[in-house]
Structure 1
Amino acid sequence: MTDVLLSSDTGGVRTLTLNRPHRKNAIDPELWKALRGALVGAAEDPTVRSLVLTGAGGAFSSGADLKAGTADTRHPLDKVRDLNEVAVLLHELPLPTVAKVTGVAVGAGWNLALGCDLVVATPESRFSQIFTRRGLSPDCGGSWLLPRLVGLQQAKRLALLAEMIDAEEARTLNLVTWVVPAEQIDGFVAELGERLASGPPVALAQTKALLHESGTLREALAAEARAQAVNFATADVPEAYAAFAEKREPHFTGRWYRQPPPEDTTCAKQ
């Protein structure tokens, strides 16, 4: 793992830390590449059950590093493709994800946080869709995420005016899940990551996909039926039933559950 992105595992929780504190974790091409590799690695590692994304040095991320971008001679579409790949990988990651936001999260940095399933911030956190102040429009999925989270009118306000808002307003707008004191956020997120990591991995992945892909009611019902068929093929369902009957906590593994075939009594009857 490159120095610009730190990775650590605690139990089934993997924490990825953006590590360019001297630039408030502005994301340069090297960090975009590292993020892409880290997300692919997390998706392919069966020991990883949940993922936390955070930043070093008291900031989450000040967005794409425009200064570093000027030294990148590739076509702008090639540069944006790096952002797009990371946004899709994060959105489609078959793991529950948590953004732990301290300090600023602006531009593409904020949209990375919004791409996570849950967002935890401190009262000191600040957020902005800063793009228009830079003569740009939203990227890293912001134009898709914002209207779905806050509605079209508030999304336009945030994107067009590029205002800086605080954590409490972000929570009121459903852009932050929890606001907790700075001295408590590490423990809060650690416990949250553990809770998610202890859940049924297949069912969590199916649930996340259903919520992301829901269309009409009929389409959602059909997708739910397919997802339940997948869930019933795991050992987690009988484990949950057994744990309920035995009044204990279930131990979920996501393991494929193969029932023995029914006994063939044809020969016995002959």
Structure 2
Amino acid sequence: MAASQKGASMQTAETSIELKQEVGVATLTLNRPERLNSFNPAMHRALAAELDRLRDDAEVRVLVLTGTGRAFCAGQDLSDRAVTPGQQAADLGESIERYYAPLVRRLRDMPKPVIAAVNGVAAGAGANIALACDLVIAARSARFVQAFSKIGLLPDSGGSYWLPRLLGQARALGLALLAEPLSAEQAAQWGLIWRCVDDAVFPAEVQRLAAELAAGPTLAYARIKQALQAAERNSLEQQLLLERDLQRELGCSADYREGVAAFLAKRQPQFQGQ
């Protein structure tokens, strides 16, 4: 897939992924609105290719993932799988191993902030892919649905990992067993997502948040992500040692020197991401 030019957008009929790059910000839009932006193999491959390219693009300092139309992402496109009685069943484990687990890893390992801009319904794997991002901001009309039990499955794409950690067992089990829609407002109140904003100001707020992060200390953001993710498995002693090592690195960065100089001069810092 050819790279987009800065300030331009690109979409192909084959992949239905739209990429827009502006100063410091890359926006990836899932663009299969007729299928509620649900995934098929072509979309998976296209998104993986773009994430890999954007990871190493020094001009991109923040990534926004969003959807077209009334959905963020409805998860897997079920019409893409053979489930008719008498036919051989699709290997869902292979689908997770090949597509969904690598997608979650790509989002978590991205060395720059990733914003999930949830413009509408996020269901099934779509809800959990949003949760794999660093910041989730949702329009008030958006809904999060762990729809898996409705078709005899369990939450995947990290859902069984995020839900109990973010919400506790009681709420996690309620959402997973009953598959009831959770409003964006309730999701924010429960701490599942970062923020819920009115639909009218949603695009502007996403743009403001992305611009703020794009102007920030990119290396520090990468190390913040690394430290907080490590805290999920580290002991206190291990975490203190990691903090020491990462802070030592950041203390030698140009951004740290600029941050201190700007603080002392009472001006806004001009971070270069180094």
Q: Scaled by the length of structure 2, what TM-score is found?
A: 0.89
Indicate whether 1:230 and 2:249 are aligned.
Answer: yes
1:203 equivalent in alignment to 2:220: yes
Q: What is residue 119 of structure 2 aligned with on the other side?
A: 102
2:82 & 2:266 partners in 1: Cα distance? 60
**Matching residue within 182, 194, 199 for 1:177:** 194
Q: Which of 64, 80, 83 is the equivalent residue of 2:96?
A: 80
The one-letter amino acid of 2:24's match is G
Describe the superposition over 1:168-209 as per-residue Cα deviations: whole angstroms up to 9, x where unpaired.
Answer: 111111122211111111110001001011111111100011
% of aligned pairs identical?
40
Distance in 2 (CA, whole Å) between partners of 1:225 and 1:66 is: 47
Contact 1:29 1:69 in 2 (8 A): no
TM-score, with normalisation over the residues of structure 1? 0.90
Residues 1:126 and 2:143 aligned together: yes
Q: Out of 78, 91, 97, which is 1:66 matched to?
A: 78
1:18 is matched with which residue?
30
Deviation at 1:58, TM superposition (A): 2.2
Question: For 2:245 and 2:79, how far apart are their aligned partners in 1?
Answer: 47
Counterpart in 1 of 2:271?
252
Report what 2:52 is aligned to. Answer: 40
1:133 is matched by which residue type in structure 2?
A: K
Q: How far apart are 1:45 and its partner, in Å?
A: 0.6
Give the alignment partner of residue 218 of structure 1, picking from 228, 232, 237.
237
Equivalent position of 1:51 in the other structure = 63
Residue 149 of structure 1 corresponds to which residue in structure 2? 166
Q: Please give the root-mean-square deviation of Cα atoms over the aligned residues, in Å.
A: 1.7
Deviations 1:217-243 (A, max 9, x none): 111111111111221231111111111
Residue aligned with 1:228, SS: helix
Contact preservation (8 Å) 2:82, 2:90: no
Match of 2:176, as an amino acid? A
- What is the match of residue 191 of structure 1? 208
* Aligned AA (2:211): E
Query: What residue in structure 2 maps to residue 262 of structure 1?
Result: none
Moved more, 63-72 or 131-140: 63-72
What corresponds to 1:265 in structure 2? none
Higher radius of gyration, 1 or 2: 1
Ranges in structure 2 where 5+ consecutive residues have no aligned partner: 2-11
Give the match's secondary structure for 1:60: strand
How far apart in 2 are the matches of 1:186 and 1:75?
A: 38
Q: CA deviation at 1:156?
A: 1.2
Cα deviation for residue 144 of structure 1 reads: 0.9
Shift of 1:115: 0.8
User: 8 Å contact 1:103–1:126 — kept in the other structure?
Assistant: yes
Q: Greater CA deviation, 220-229 or 68-77? A: 68-77
Counterpart in the other structure of 1:261: none
CA displacement 1:26-53 (0-9 Å, x = unmatched):
1111111111111111111111101111
Deviates more, 1:241-250 or 1:8-17: 241-250
Farther-moved stretch of structure 1 (44-53 vs 160-169):
160-169
Q: What do residues 228-266 of structure 1 show as CA deviations (whole Å, max 9, x unaligned)?
A: 1221231111111111122211111133xxxxxxxxxxx
Q: What is the SS of the residue equivalent to 2:72?
A: coil
Q: Is the 8 A contact 1:62 1:105 kept in 2?
A: yes
SS at match of 2:250: helix
* Distance (Å, rounded) in 1 between the aligned partners of 2:78 and 2:36: 13
8 Å CA contact 1:28, 1:69 repeated in 2: no
